[in-house]
Structure 1
């Protein structure tokens, strides 16, 4: 049986000695997470936040049609003509208000919308904080409201009551959003939203 050999003790060193063949130092300390990783994750989070804000702005900014309605982003002036082809008195009033410097929002619905089992065409218009009911008469509806600069959006919706073919639009400062709905109980819905950097579109 062989005995383990130890190095000779040095004079003046008291206490136990490390066994021969073992390192005199303990294990190296563990590494902590570097600041680079934390900063990298923080930057990624900020980029993700900006992307999310941009997506929300894009969704809110687009006019949306539902239940078969179709929305387009055509820009036309407030003086659009109705289905009959001539400008109405309301259009002339909106033009005079615009020329006088007052900013207004113009809401329109036009087309054919027979009274159904649930009654006449159901129209709602206004902003995110102010909704009103409208009346469809002689194939059209038109209303104006003063422009509220603090509003997030302005919209008009019109629901058919069993049949018909209608168009709707909302106009702010020369920008117009339009939509269309036909048949059944489909809804025409046009919306203009305030942009992230101001303005309407």
Structure 2
């Protein structure tokens, strides 16, 4: 005799595990890793000598050897170090600055302005950018004046200077003052270059 066994109902499949938690966890880990990477890059780019002094020992060691070394060390420690002044025959960029009369345009309002005639020459191997906004004028009292755009007829042009080229024009600050030096920076990340106004 054949004995029939009752059929068993099909067994339900076990529910699939949701991997949403793993995805969120890996995403958070990725964000944390990104911030750590940015921090490391920032620390490396921020510099320092690797001795934990951020270059202060180098300044202290050379302070006695350079003329005016103690004043320079004090300025650097206070974060008020002035940009380097290059002699006319040093470096890839040469600048001269002379006082010049202000040549008013229709954009100038009734307040006073002071202009400096600047000649910039590219003596290097790479193209440099010149823009009135890359210049500041510092007066004899130590106040820095940013360039006022479009107020002087002879304003220096915005140009790219190839090696060997030069351009001349005025840089103008608001107010009446006696200019002491002009500072030029090639773009936002370049090193500032200072020249005395003659």
Larger radius of gyration, structure 1 or 2? 1
| TM norm structure 1 | 0.31
User: Normalized per residue, which structure has more helix?
Assistant: 2
